[in-house]
Structure 1
Amino acid sequence: MNPHSATIGADDAVLNADQLERIHAWWRAANYLSVGQIYLLDNPLLREPLLPEHIKPRLLGHWGTTPGLNFVYAHLNRAIMERDLDTIYVMGPGHGGPGPVAAAWLEGTYTEAYPEITQDADGMRRLFRQFSFPGGIPSHVAPETPGSIHEGGELGYALSHAYGAAFDNPDLIVAAVVGDGEAETGPLAASWQSNKFVNPARDGTVLPILHLNGYKIANPTVLARISPEELDHLLRGYGHTPYYVEGEDPARMHQDFARALDACLDRIGQIKSRVRAGDTQRPRWPMIVLRSPKGWTGPEEVDGKQVEGTWRAHQVPFAQARENDDHLAILEQWMRSYRPEELFDRTGAPVESVITLHPAGTRRMSANPHSNGGGLLKDLRMPDFRDYAVPVDTAGTATGESTRVLGTLLRDVMAANMDDFRVFSPDENNSNRLDAVLEVTGRAWNAATLDGDDHLAPDGRVMEILSEHTVQGWLEGYLLTGRHGLFSCYEAFIHIVDSMFNQHAKWLSTTNGIPWRRPIASLNYLLTSHVWRQDHNGFSHQDPGFIDHVVNKKSDVIRVYLPPDANTLLSVADHCLRRRQYVNVVVAGKQPQLQFLDMEQAIEHCTKGIGIWDWASSDGGQEPDVVMACAGDVPTLETLAAVTILRGHFPDLRIRVVNVVDLMRLQDDRAHPHGLSDQDFDALFTTNVPVVFAYHGYPALIHRLTYRRKGHGNLHVHGYQEEGTTTTPFDMCVLNEIDRYHLAIDVIDRVPRLRDVSAHAREQLRNALIRHRSYIREHGEDMPEIRDWTWGGDPAFPPDALR
């Protein structure tokens, strides 16, 4: 069998002879360019015999999935032109990177983005040389690839990204190729459920294409080895009607795939028309299952071992083309089998029969505006966050639920932006106290409903599914295609998406250096139900370490905020929702808590990101005896309570209270754009007095951020020590020694002039800790003096306040 023949009987044809010839020619061209990227440094059109010096010294990349990806791309191009479709291409098998690069070059988009990669022989040589080469581009689908919204560095997110792109894009079709290796991941398995959250009247359409080529690096794939009946039951159980295309004869496969694709697009059109006419029944969406050989059209055999159709085709089918004459001959024979002289003219440009297969302008999938979403992004219409202020007449005397207050702001942001803003949560927005948004929209839901269900609606804009991966993937796809959103999550379980955050942060950092990539809206995390208020759920729900993970990323894309009360949270949220090209992490509790700053104070404090709270300090502008610093709502409360204790015992003690909202202010300005200069840092914290720092998370991070500061040796951080259980809120603080009593004792121990006069105060603090432990074990709640504590305004609290 000639793997590159493309003839079929007219009685069985869906494509006419011209269509078939053009599709096959485009596929051959894309495959040729893909092989060239993996292997060649020079001689791109094989106009002379292939020599060892034409071969790259290090052969990197993945061939096995690439011809299937190119095959699908060619057929989508035909459909786009015939039907004038608005389509983007999400490639789950990300290491098929040579394919989309080849497609973008054939479509001319690559040259538009990178003028030095011209559509001629020299440009082709540059295209080949840069692939997986120092100073070039990665081997997978990456930000550098025009038309991509999906980083190919990890697997599992093709469908969730595709659905995120489709939300609120009613005319968009997202073709999402799911690799059969990718289909084994948990995130991908959960994301099949996304079709229950699509509103056909308002949203676009995802067309899943499950690509079964049988193998991963060495192992077979599960879905390729189960029976056809079992696979069919699985996909229908997910809510799809699958169309099957399988074989290895290109002629037959072209016709079969064209037939299946037309049937899917016809079905999508029928569904859209029916729903827009008023049918409310959830549709069963079409999908395609493409079963093709691994490394299709590649060498059948190398060194006496089968390659095509086996795991050996997964990466580089043979790796000694530079050193082994037999391998070199196989490579030349392989590349010449695509007949490049028929595909590229004398200058090296694609011939007319190839370039006429792709659509024009922005209908090209590599140039579709949705794949460069910053170009479509509009600023949010934002209400004035000051209008949602919590009244604060006296600091630390009234309580409020910070995230519930934020919910009222988000409600009105939603109401003003009903086509490009959504809130996402795996834990339910109600649990995170953001339920005010349900006053203007429902929860997106297109499955069955029952009497008594709460705010379920096909056109809802609150996105809830108990899969952190799926929620993150939806939001990323939504942002990357030019919209805005917010992701609220329990703090301990945001770790589930650590690797997804990694990839998104890397995408942002990379695109900062790609001029044609337009900035997108920031990815905003609200971490609530945090470590200090997970006393009821216990140790499993207590982990503030996501901040440490985030801070590992480049400083040009990450920001971390710890607002201590509702008004600072409002100010921070307004700032984050307006920003572009960042990952913003905001940590704020949802439980009732004391409020400290009125709105004008909050704005001033958040603008600085860090500052002295004069109303809580007693240094009077002089050098303090101690600096008491805090970052986070509960650490702030406990610090202020410790201040009242200390000032009651030692009225002449000079205490400076420093509160941190923007955590990156602690880093120096050489390491982070928000970092303080050494002069400003030293002015706040001094260089020679002890600093007792109560921090929301793991103490080591504060030391890491400040290790280059002059006074770093004076810094003593209290934070989470991996001590936790099911207990009371205050006991969580005690177990980890960030409570008021431990903080006060630490100050006493570190201020030299207190050591000889503090015995009675120290004893009372220790006794208070003993009483606390006894009380909670008998009553099951914190002592009244803890539960009911407020900032009294008068610093002269008597020592017997502890009795």
Structure 2
Amino acid sequence: MSRVSLSPEMLYNIDAYWRAANYLSVGQIYLYANPLLRRPLVLADIKRMLLGHWGTTPGQNFIYVHLNRIIKKYDLDMIYIAGPGHGGPAVVANTYLEGTYSEIYPEISQDEAGLQKLFLQFSFPGGIPSHASPECPGSIHEGGELGYSLSHAFGAVFDHPELIVACVVGDGEAETGPLATAWHSNKFLNLVHDGVVLPILHLNGYKISNPSILARIPRAELEQLLQGYGWTPYFVEGDDPAFMHETMATALDSVIEKIQAIQYEARTMGELHRPSWPMIVLCSPKGWTGPQVVDDLQIEGTFRAHQVPLIVSESTPATHLAMLESWMLSYRPDELFDATGKLFPALAALAPEGQRRMGANPHANGGVLLRDLLLPDFRAYAETLQQRGMLGIGDMHVLGRFLRDIVVANKARRNFRIFGPDETLSNGLKSVFEVTSRQWNAKIAVNDEFLAQDGMVLDSMLSEHQCEGWLEGYLLTGRHGVFTCYEAFIHIIDSMFNQHAKWLKVAAQLPWRAKIASLNIVLTSHVWRQDHNGFTHQDPGFIDYVLNKKASIIRVYLPPDANCLLSVMDHCLRSRHYVNVVIAGKHPAPQWLSMEAAVTHCAQGIGIWDWASNDRGEMPDVVMACCGDVPTLETLAAISILREHLPDLKIRCINIVDLARLQPATEHPHGLSDTDFDDLFTTHQPVVFAFHSYPWLIHRLTYDRINQRNIHVHGYQEEGTITTQFDMTVLNELDRFHLVMDVIDHLPQANDKTRQLKQLVEEKLIKHGKYIRLYGEDMPEISNWHWNPTPRHSATE
């Protein structure tokens, strides 16, 4: 690459701007007062608790000022992702220097008083975290999300053709599984419709207390690794500031010109071959420009620079205070800030203007760009209910038609995508491939299906991490999407969901952050229908984890049939700033409600199914509740047995779609008041509850209800194997026969009829076990069962 020669004035100004960012970063970690060192430092000027991370910060400050230069030179639309977990001082310092921070937080003004507040708030009670948190302008990636920066970056550039995401990847982050896999995301970029990710691998040699692998392997090996991933690395290495500024400027100019040439060839000349995208490897000392040696221990360039490199307190030597003062004065603040504490105009002019500033770029506040989805009327996709309990094609297959037409309606806008780990077909959504393909920019062989460079489905990578990260980046920059996954394997992204939910919670409290589209997670291939795969594919516990998060953010839906699923998904796709978890089956399953009834039921979230009940407004003898498609089937089958053999037994059937309805209204905005809950479940009658997941979740949600001691929950008991569909319910005592026995066991007193019925269902269970082991399939009376009203049922059923 030809060398860029910075003019002496530009070289001085870039270095001064870098020094200013470093000075502000150190001040955030240390200073309680005296922000411009107008007088000698004293202990009273130092925070009593020193929190923060210095090691990555000077390198990120170096990167940021150089990105500012190329944004201005090439008029780039660019945002910044700080992958190293604790780069908060850097992003706060730089958004303050460019002016964005003060515009959003006027009390953090561009003067000495503002600097005082800027420093004091950092890692301080009532202040801001030490990460690149939602409070920081320009951030879409929390510092605690170690391993996901590249995934978020690629999600951000899908369908944003002019956007460049500069993504800094730190030493430690580079060693995580998700990040190591994310380098392959370059095989999915569409050269015409998508933007570009510029990875900057920041190797400063160490993690918290160990050397980093990529910094210790030979240069040739590292270069071959990155080239093998499909990247062209440009190395910037050293510790001399003047040399490093020149080298970084040269590398960035070469990189941007290479990116622009690739895009020109694709968009003007039609050259759509997959390129080797450029990236930068920045090798600089950890804790660069900080203390060299403290108490005879080397600091700069070692792991000791990771957090607070110099402890200053009443219990440390007095020399530490002097070392801190000397360190801060080494940045020559008098050359950076005027008498009022404002950055000198010649330095401030280095920052881009308006929305070209990375802290002010609207893509980093995606809600301001968000447009409503164009949604067809979901009612048009309804399963016509010819007979209650009729067998449908599979709820996810019905949803697939709806999603197919959402893709069509929004294709021109390019603001809706379907994400998932190589499972779109398996999850029953084949209909979407009638109108789009999987986006793919690697080799396509003759027998491949549904692969194209221009597709709206991203599921060609068998990595839950990448697909979830792409979707999060897509949402955070102002678009909509759905993530589908096998239920058992959604746990792979537990920590990603956790961080996104936390982000939403904090962002919702910031008036300047516009709400983004909800994260819609659809779980299928669920625990009760894994007869091909067995125990390894059986784990419904994700919803337990989800419900630990703030009620203002979390929604969990278990629609009992296809029409309810359509109604729920229409609601979820219209919603803002939630995590919606929807659990639905893909196998042929009974259909219970007409579309009109489904809309009403889903709007209520919980309700009595009068057509399956016979209490007729009186106090029931037993309440039978169900939540989930298979639990609903088994509950209704149990009710039919009970009504046939115990016709005088008054049964109330309750179905739950919105799981949060079980919680008190004081704990969740969808929760039921105690009065409403008691009206449904009574205050003293037995409740036999068939639940999709682990039983104790229902006990947890209802622990404070009056009748909670009478709620007897059947759910997954961690029993599974390769077996028949019905046998899975038997193994976990969720089946109709166990439900019937539980009802009988909780009636006030036994009689001949109840004893005879209990014996009958016990014999059925024995017969079932023998049958499946002889024939390898469920008994005809199970597989061919359908809802058949008894003479005591109403004529309208």
Matched, 1:436 2:446: no
1:368 aligns with 2:361: yes
Partners of 1:53 and 1:322 within 8 A in 2: no
| Preserved CA contact (<8 Å) 2:645 2:753 | no
Task: Report how far residue 795 of structure 1 moved.
Answer: 5.7
Which residue of structure 2 aligns with residue 608 of structure 1? 604
Partner of 2:351: 358
Decide whether the 8 Å contact of 2:643 with 2:790 is kept in 1. no
Residue 494 of structure 2 corresponds to which residue in structure 1?
498
Are 1:202 and 2:193 an aligned pair? yes
1:562 pairs, out of 554, 558, 561, with 558
Residue of structure 2 in register with 1:739 after alignment: 735
Q: Distance in 2 between matches of 1:49 and 1:537?
A: 70
Are 2:315 and 1:320 equivalent residues in the alignment? no
Per-residue deviation, residues 172-205 of structure 1 (Å, max 9, x unmatched) = 0100000011000000011111000001111000
- Please give the alpha-carbon distance, in whole angstroms, between the structure 1 residues aligned to 2:3 and 2:641: 89
Structure 1 unmatched ranges of 5 or more: 1-10, 798-803
Residue 771 (structure 1) aligned with residue 771 (structure 2):
no
Structure 2: how far apart are the matches of 1:397 and 1:156?
47
1:438 partner amino acid: F
| Residue 466 of structure 1 pairs with residue 462 of structure 2 | yes
> CA offsets, 1:224-274, max 9 Å, x none?
000001000000000001000000000000000000000000000010011
- CA shift, 1:320, in A, is 2.8
Shift of 1:455: 1.0
Of the three residues 329, 332, 336, the one matched with 1:343 is 336
Using the alignment, how far apart are the partners of 1:445 and 1:331 within structure 2?
Answer: 53
Paired position in structure 2 for 1:451: 446
The answer (yes or no) to whether the contact 2:138–2:360 under 8 Å persists in 1 is: yes
Is residue 3–residue 250 contact of structure 2 (8 Å, CA) maintained in 1? no
Aligned length: 787
CA distance in 1, matches of 2:83, 2:602: 41
Letter in structure 1 aligned against 2:307: Q
Does the CA-based 8 Å contact 2:553-2:579 persist in structure 1?
Answer: yes
Alpha-carbon distance in 1 for matches of 2:373, 2:314: 55
Q: SS of 1:592's equivalent?
A: coil
Residue 400 of structure 1 aligns to a residue whose secondary structure is coil
- Classify 1:772/1:13 alpha carbon distance in 2 versus 1 (closer, same or farther; 3 Å): closer
Mapped partners of 1:773, 1:229: distance in 2: 62
Alpha carbons of 1:152 and 1:564: their partners in 2 closer, same or farther (altered >3 Å)? same
The equivalent residue for 1:3 is none
Q: Does 1:379 align with 2:375?
A: no
Asked whether the equivalents of residues 748 and 755 of structure 1 are also in contact (C-alpha less than 8 Å), the reply is: no
**Is 2:257 the partner of 1:266?**
yes
Against the structure 1 CA distance between its residues 257 and 755, is the aligned structure 2 distance closer, same or farther, given a 3 Å change threshold? farther
State whether structure 2 residue 713 is matched by structure 1 residue 717. yes
Are residues 1:726 and 2:718 paired?
Answer: no
Query: For 2:198, what is the secondary structure of its paired residue?
Result: strand
Asked if residue 62 in structure 1 is aligned to residue 53 in structure 2, the reply is yes
Tell me, in whole angstroms, the C-alpha distance in 2 between the residues paired with 1:146 and 1:613. Answer: 50
What is the CA–CA distance in structure 1 between the aligned matches of 2:571 and 2:196, rounded to whole Å? 33
Question: CA shift at 1:555, angstroms?
Answer: 0.2
Query: Which of these residues, 27, 39, 63, is aligned with residue 72 of structure 1?
Result: 63
Distance 1:785 1:354 in 2: 81
Instruction: Confirm whether residue 333 of structure 1 aligns to residue 326 of structure 2.
Output: yes
| Residues 638-690 of structure 1: CA deviation (Å, up to 9, x unaligned) | 00000010011101110000000000000010000000111111011001100
Aligned to 2:159: 168
Match of 1:29? 20
CA positional deviation for 1:12: 6.8
Question: Under a length normalisation based on structure 2, what TM-score does the superposition of the two structures give?
Answer: 0.98
Q: Which moved more, 1:405-414 or 1:755-764?
A: 755-764
Contact 2:4 2:250 in 1 (8 A): no
Query: Which amino acid in the other structure matches residue 342 of structure 1?
Result: E
Aligned residue runs from structure 1 range 504-519, under 5 A: 504-519=500-515
Normalised to the residue count of structure 1, the TM-score between the two structures is 0.97
Matches within 5 A, 1:212-361: 212-276=203-267, 277-323=269-315, 324-361=317-354
Indicate if the aligned counterparts of 1:26 and 1:354 stay in contact, CA closer than 8 A.
Answer: yes
The AA in structure 2 aligned to 1:380 is L
Structure 1 window deviating more from structure 2 (525-534 vs 418-427): it is 418-427
- Amino acid of the structure 2 residue aligned with 1:775: Y
Q: Distance in 1 between matches of 2:289 and 2:326?
A: 12
| Residue pair 1:142, 1:151 contacting (<8 A) in 2 also | yes
3-state secondary structure, aligned to 1:75: helix
Q: CA deviation at 1:756?
A: 5.5
Tell me which moved more, 788-797 or 109-118. 788-797
| Whole-Å separation in 1 of the counterparts to 2:196 and 2:188 | 11
Partners of 2:274 and 2:3 in 1: how far apart?
34
1:397 to 2:352 alignment: no
Change (3 A) 1:456 1:12: closer
Paired letter, 1:735: L
When residues 300 and 757 of structure 1 are mapped into structure 2, their CA distance, relative to the original with a 3 A threshold, is: same
Q: 2:234 and 2:359 mapped to 1: Cα distance?
A: 26
In the alignment, the residues of structure 2 paired with residue 161 and residue 631 of structure 1 have an alpha-carbon distance, to the nearest angstrom, of 34
User: What is the deviation of 1:779?
Assistant: 0.5
Q: Which residue of 1 aligns with 2:536?
A: 540
How far apart are residue 354 of structure 1 and its match? Answer: 1.8
Instruction: State the alpha-carbon separation in 1 of the partners of residues 686 and 451 from structure 2.
Output: 55
The answer to whether the aligner puts 1:672 opposite 2:668 as a matched pair is yes
Amino acid at match of 1:408: R
Tell me how far apart the structure 2 counterparts of residues 399 and 344 of structure 1 sit (CA, whole Å): 71
